Amino acid sequence: MRLKDKVTIITGAGRGIGKAIALGFAEQGAHIVVAARTESEIISVADNIKEMDRESLAVVCDVTNEDQVKHLVDKTMKKFNRIDVVINNAGIGTMRPVYATQLDSFEKVLKVNLIGTFLLTKHAWQPMKNSGGGSIINVSSLGGLVGYPLLSAYCASKWGQIGFTKSCAEEGKKDNIRVNAIAPGKADTAIRAKIKEDKTKMLSPEDQVDACVFLAANESRYITGQVISLEWFGKEQD
């Protein structure tokens, strides 16, 4: 098991990419703190993990609320007394022309995707340092590397998330904390559910798992400040 007994906090873990990562990490031996806003979803994921004979904790958390983020970290420390991995996965997006985007809509995307990443990183940092270091993985997007029309708020948040990743990676070197990101392309998740497109020609939530396992595992111990792009290109790989 590549992640045996690593205590891992995953946000947005009730469904989609976050759920897939949670289950994939549990298969690799990690203990999982499942965090999201919808209690029924995270309890279901936590129960699935317990059935895999791994420990799990479900914590309701809005990543834009600093008190709730601090509560998430406190509950994790109370149960496990350490934090080894943080995966900032919670994210939202909207599609509309920039001239038709309302300020509150733009701010909401920034708050979840960027401020949420900041808040959990901030509050998990010292406990992770005290645990001997660890790995922070930010789930960004190809939209954080290139600009897409109708996605100005989303792209702005994801570009910011990548800049945040690289800055924190430099700070983390002295604390033995590695900070990296993955940048998935189109993925078949709830965020794209209303878009009319061929769902077979995109990534599945499970396609994100291997890259995250690698960035959390010992074999990537000298890798920090990097962004791994993930993109469907039409052929199954062995």
In a domain, 206, yes or no: yes
Residues acting as catalytic residues: 154
Q: In this structure, are residues 205 and 192 in contact, taking their beta carbons and an 8 Å threshold?
A: no
Domain that holds residue 38: 7-230
C-alpha to C-alpha distances, 61 to 2, 38, 68, 155, 205, nearest whole angstrom: 28, 8, 6, 24, 21
In a domain, 1, yes or no: no
Q: In this structure, are residues 118 and 168 in contact, taking their beta carbons and an 8 Å threshold?
A: no
For residue 19, pLDDT over 90 is answered with yes
In a domain, 236, yes or no: no
Across the range 113-133, mean pLDDT stands at 98
In a domain, 178, yes or no: yes
Mean pLDDT over each residue of the chain, to the nearest integer: 93
DSSP secondary-structure letter at 141?
Answer: -
Return the percentage of the chain with pLDDT > 90, whole number.
87
In a domain, 2, yes or no: no
Indicate the number of domains in the chain: 1
Whole-prediction pTM value?
0.94
pLDDT in the model for residue 238: 52
CATH no. for residue 148?
Answer: 3.40.50.720
